[in-house]
Structure 1
Amino acid sequence: MTPQEAPPAGYAEVQVVAASPEVARRVAEVLRRSFATTEQRSFPAGDEGGTRLILTVDTTRAEEPARSWLESSR
């Protein structure tokens, strides 16, 4: 998937930009507890430092409490 392409139906691409790789990984871990995800990809976040982490989540395979949040938001 290229940056301009939308993910398939039922999926969402999530980008986390954080000051450190550890902070980005902690956010990704929270997402993994609620959704099935792809392997994360990380990149430098620009000239100032930091980390950009990208992962794709499968919203069709959400666990609780994400499932109830998704259903109530429709």
Structure 2
Amino acid sequence: MKPTQPLPPAGQAEVRIVAATPEVARMIAEALRSRFAATEQRSYPAGGEGATRLHLTVDTTHTAEPPRSWLVTSRSSGSDRLQADEI
């Protein structure tokens, strides 16, 4: 019988992703992050040639912030002023 691991706090889930390649594991982690707030992933070898195991903690009580378009993120704020040496 496997030893039991402590449960994560209420509202959080520990997620383990095992994939044949790191790219596939990252795609799944990104899909989760697009829906839920999550910690940075931690990656480990998964035994097979190039296989990867990712661990991350997902906070199910907070949804992820909606993605901002490049247009919104590139707009200057009102406080952006030219400096004397930028003329």
Q: What is the identity percentage for the equivalent residue pairs of Structure 1 and Structure 2? A: 65
Task: Map 1:8-47 onto structure 2 (within 5 A).
Answer: 8-46=9-47
Q: Does 1 or 2 have the higher relative contact order (CA < 8 Å, sep 6+)?
A: 1
State the aligned residue count.
60
Q: Which has the higher helix share?
A: 1
Q: Find runs of 4+ consecutive structure 1 residues off by over 3 angstroms.
A: none
Amino acid aligned to 2:43: S
TM-score by length of 2: 0.64
Flag structure 2 segments of 5+ consecutive residues without an equivalent. 65-87
Mapped to 2, the partners of 1:51 and 1:5 lie a distance apart of 24
1:6-29 deviation digits (Å, cap 9, x = unpaired): 111100011100000010000000
TM-score by length of 1: 0.75
RMSD of aligned residue pairs (Cα, Å): 1.4
Flag structure 1 segments of 5+ consecutive residues without an equivalent. 64-74
